[in-house]
């Protein structure tokens, strides 16, 4: 295990392949998580982008919601991108009727805050905790963090002040998709948390 964290990517819907490729490039042992039993076989989890309401419904249909909530409560590191950030949020301000999240992060998020997919955009984003080089950030029907709890650190904001990257303990969330640009630093930060979690 030393140096080779065992991580999962929730593989119900969304951009799973890009996360798997980037995590493997960083030296992780990666498993696609689709069944409740697989939740106990990992030491960290990535929640990919996609459609948050669909991932929510599928997670309940496959019996994954409660096992995932329990592992999050236990302190397992989780990184959510775009829809994954929505799923990590304790509060979803404009979710569909009956939509739920896994929770764990004391933030309120707003879905599709930038409009439809045609309003997707890219920007060079300053993320001081990742070093001086800016992050090339791709936003696709992205959420924003509308409220941040007292235990949450803001890692990055847009020029207008909209919060788009947050961290709370072992939980990390971004509104954008580093995996689509091959940007490794957020995933590397997540893997550092996984190594610390397992004591490697």
Distance CA(3)–CA(169), nearest Å, equals 21
The residue from 18, 167, 179, 183 that is catalytic is 179
Task: List the structure tokens of 9.
Answer: 């990517």
Tell me the helix, strand and coil percentages in the chain, rounded to 5.
Answer: 30, 30, 40
Active site residue 187: no
The residue from 18, 19, 167, 177 that is catalytic is 177
Active site residue 82: yes
The residue from 82, 167, 183, 187 that is catalytic is 82
Contact 10, 175 (CB under 8 A): no
Beta strands in 49-181 (DSSP E): 78-81, 89-92, 105-110, 121-125, 135-139, 144-148, 153-157, 163-168, 171-174
Residue 149, phi then psi, degrees to nearest 5:
-75, 170
Q: Which residues are catalytic?
A: 82, 177, 179
């Amino acid at each position: 295990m030393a140096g080779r964290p065992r991580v999962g990517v929730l593989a119900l819907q969304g951009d799973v392949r890009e996360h798997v490729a980037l995590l493997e490039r960083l030296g992780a042992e990666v498993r696609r998580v689709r069944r409740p039993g697989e939740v106990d076989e990992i030491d960290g989890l990535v929640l990919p982008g996609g459609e948050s309401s669909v991932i929510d419904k599928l997670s309940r249909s496959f019996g994954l919601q409660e096992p995932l909530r329990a592992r999050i409560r236990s302190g397992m590191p989780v990184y959510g991108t775009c829809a994954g950030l929505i799923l990590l949020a304790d509060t979803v301000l404009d979710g569909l009727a009956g939509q739920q999240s896994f929770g764990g992060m004391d933030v309120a998020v707003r879905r599709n805050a930038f409009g439809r997919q045609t309003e997707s955009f890219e920007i060079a984003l300053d993320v001081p905790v990742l070093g001086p080089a800016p992050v090339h950030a791709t936003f696709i029907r992205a959420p924003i963090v509308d409220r941040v709890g007292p235990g949450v650190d803001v890692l990055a904001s847009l020029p207008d002040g909209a919060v788009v990257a947050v961290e709370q303990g072992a939980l990390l969330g971004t509104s954008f998709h580093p995996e689509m640009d091959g940007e490794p630093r957020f995933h590397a930060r997540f893997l550092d948390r996984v190594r610390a979690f397992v004591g490697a």
